[in-house]
Structure 1
Amino acid sequence: MNDRKSPVTLKIILIGSSGVGKSSFMNRYVNHRFTNMYRATIGTDFLSRTVTIDEDTVTLQIWDTAGTERFQSLGTPLYRGAHCCMLVFDVTSRASFSALVEWRKEFLIQGEPQDPSDFPFIVLGNKTDLSNREVSGRKALQWCEEIGAEYFEGSAKDDLDVEKPFLRAAQSGLQQYKKHTLENTGHFQITCKQPRETRNTCEC
């Protein structure tokens, strides 16, 4: 008998304003590459990476969303089924940080998580390599504490602290997956004691 666990697939969503570096962070994490050639995401982009968390093999499906209003209608089908949401902003842009309030609100409305109060959010401040910073780590951390999110910051360009937020997203997403899998299957653990030939009428 094979005791190896089946791989778990987790859906991780990156949302935030256009130009904050969602694609760059995702590509640096998955493909270990960075380019200065900025290309706006048209609709959505998607990459995957497999990691091991404790004894679980986890395939992360990382979805990068367009940060422009004309593509936000895609949010409804895209957000649903997510196990963790990463809210990304540019530390040199106060506006991109302020916009996270609405991005988070939109995700909770359109994504319809089973337990909104317990859904895991990771807040990620990108472009720490730049000197013209407008959002302090203290300010970002304060907001994260208010909404119950975890805060990370780094630089896709300099490959600085890129792994940490994705690893935490995987851990949080896995917890979410296991929790709801147990909830959704728990009520099927009833053993039917009726004879096999009469089970089609069993009301147990």
Structure 2
Amino acid sequence: MTDLSLYKWVSFPVSTIWDTAGQERFQSLGVAFYRGADCCVLVYDVNVMKSFDTLENWHEEFLKQANPPDPRAFPFILLGNKIDIDGGNSRVVSEKKAKDWCASKGNIPYFETSAKEDYNVDAAFLCIAKAALANEHEQDIYFQGIPEAAVPENEQRSGCAC
């Protein structure tokens, strides 16, 4: 694990990670989960071409649902996971193919990882944290446009604090 004490953080980043496991049924929940995100991490299995082929759809759907102010500047990170499987013999998506895809999207940072073997995971998450902090929103988007509940001045209140 990376020793974060080596880094001088003004405030330690707190992250919320939504893992949709690549399931299309979660795409309809996009607005609720994606709006206000500071970074998007796309993960595919280097041993399954279909997981790589769906990256384009997830990338576009995220941008559509999250609606960031500048979509071309929004930080994405790509992780090619499960590089430990079968000593790499089962791999169907080459590192070059993944890097070419990243280049076509504005040079998205790319990491090859093994969650099982804890390979390159710390480096990837450090990059994710830095990208998210650099893009952090100043306002609380979850309550944007929701007026505060107002109690008319002449209305009687009960003694209950709730």
Q: TM-score, normalised by structure 1?
A: 0.60
Structure 1 residues 114-125: aligned runs within 5 Å: 114-125=69-80
Deviation at 1:129, TM superposition (A): 0.5
Match of 1:61 among 2, 13, 16: 16
3-state DSSP of counterpart to 1:87 = strand
Unmatched segments (≥5 aa) in structure 1: 1-28, 30-50, 183-204
Cα distance in 1 between the residues matched to 2:21 and 2:120: 23
Cα distance in 2 between the residues matched to 1:181 and 1:70: 31
Cα distance in 2 between the residues matched to 1:70 and 1:63: 14
Cα distance in 1 between the residues matched to 2:104 and 2:26: 29
Deviation at 1:108, TM superposition (A): 0.2
Cα distance in 2 between the residues matched to 1:144 and 1:78: 23
On the 8 A contact 2:41/2:77 being kept in 1, the answer is yes
3-state DSSP of counterpart to 1:65 = coil
Aligned to 2:92: 134
Aligned to 2:116: 157
Amino acid at match of 1:88: V
On the 8 A contact 1:87/1:122 being kept in 2, the answer is yes
Amino acid at match of 2:16: Q
Cα distance in 2 between the residues matched to 1:83 and 1:71: 19
Aligned to 2:47: 92
Count how many residue pairs are aligned between Structure 1 and Structure 2. Answer: 131
Match of 1:181 among 112, 120, 138: 138
Amino acid at match of 1:77: A
Deviation at 1:55, TM superposition (A): 2.5
Amino acid at match of 2:138: T
Cα distance in 2 between the residues matched to 1:181 and 1:87: 24
Unmatched segments (≥5 aa) in structure 2: 140-162
Q: Using the aligned pairs only, state the percent identity.
A: 49
Kindly indicate which of the two structures has a greater share of residues assigned to strand. 1
Q: TM-score, normalised by structure 2?
A: 0.75
On the 8 A contact 1:66/1:72 being kept in 2, the answer is no
Once the two structures are superposed, residues 63-92 of structure 1 have per-residue CA deviations (whole angstroms, 9 ceiling, x without a partner) of 212422223211111001100000100000
On the 8 A contact 2:102/2:110 being kept in 1, the answer is yes
3-state DSSP of counterpart to 2:128 = helix
> Would the alpha carbon gap of residues 89 and 70 (structure 1) be closer, same or farther in structure 2, given more than 3 Å must change?
same
On the 8 A contact 1:155/1:161 being kept in 2, the answer is yes
Aligned to 2:147: none
3-state DSSP of counterpart to 2:91 = coil
Aligned to 1:112: 67
Cα distance in 1 between the residues matched to 2:119 and 2:37: 26
